[in-house]
């Protein structure tokens, strides 16, 4: 016996009660926005470096920007990141540029690898810690 509305024109109510025969509700997967994914990649890279060499991050601020500032005066290539040494009144800081990194990659796995490689290279420049100490497993960026 079907349940119809009071005018006998169609279904009235749910076809199956929630969580009965129909099973649990499934949530639609919302794809991660590119900016959110990039921040996740940077966070993972920081965690990886902190796992191998926590001292490397002790006096360094790491940030993310969309694109580099045009007034910084670069040569022909747009930089992927910039690193500034510590001064008397500020910590050393590294800024990773999302758009240039994404432009050089064809997929999310490559973005993740390039973010890690770029961060490690910039940390080496700022801290003087060798690449082998920051990434002893060579688990990313070893193409």
pLDDT, tens digit (0-9, with 9 covering 90-100), for 57-91:
988 999 999 998 876 565 677 889 999 998 888 88
What CATH number matches the domain at 34-134, 3.30.420.40, 3.40.50.970, 3.30.2010.20, 1.20.950.20? Answer: 3.30.2010.20
| The dihedral sign for the CA sequence 50, 55, 61, 62 | negative
Residue 111 has pLDDT above 90, yes or no: yes
Residue 120 has pLDDT above 70, yes or no: yes
pLDDT at res. 43: 95
Between 35 and 27, the higher pLDDT residue: 35
Mean pLDDT, residues 92-107 taken together: 94
The answer to whether the beta carbons of residues 115 and 38 sit under 8 Å apart is yes
Give the burial class of 134: count Cβ atoms within 10 A of its Cβ; 0-12 exposed, 13-18 middle, 19 or more buried: buried
The answer to whether the beta carbons of residues 78 and 100 sit under 8 Å apart is yes
pLDDT at res. 45: 94
């Amino acid at each position: 016996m079907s349940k119809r509305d009071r005018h006998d024109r169609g279904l009235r109510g749910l076809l199956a009660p929630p969580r009965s025969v129909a099973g649990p509700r499934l949530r639609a997967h919302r794809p991660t926005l590119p900016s959110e994914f990039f921040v996740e990649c940077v966070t993972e890279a920081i965690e990886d470096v902190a796992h191998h060499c926590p001292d490397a991050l002790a006096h360094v601020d790491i940030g993310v920007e969309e694109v580099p500032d045009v007034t910084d005066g670069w040569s022909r290539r747009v930089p992927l990141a910039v690193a500034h040494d510590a001064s008397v009144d500020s910590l050393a800081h590294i800024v990773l540029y999302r758009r240039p990194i994404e432009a050089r990659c064809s997929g999310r796995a490559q973005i993740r690898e390039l973010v890690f490689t770029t961060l490690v290279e910039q940390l080496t420049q700022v801290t003087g810690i060798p690449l082998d100490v920051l990434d002893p497993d060579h688990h990313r960026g070893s193409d």
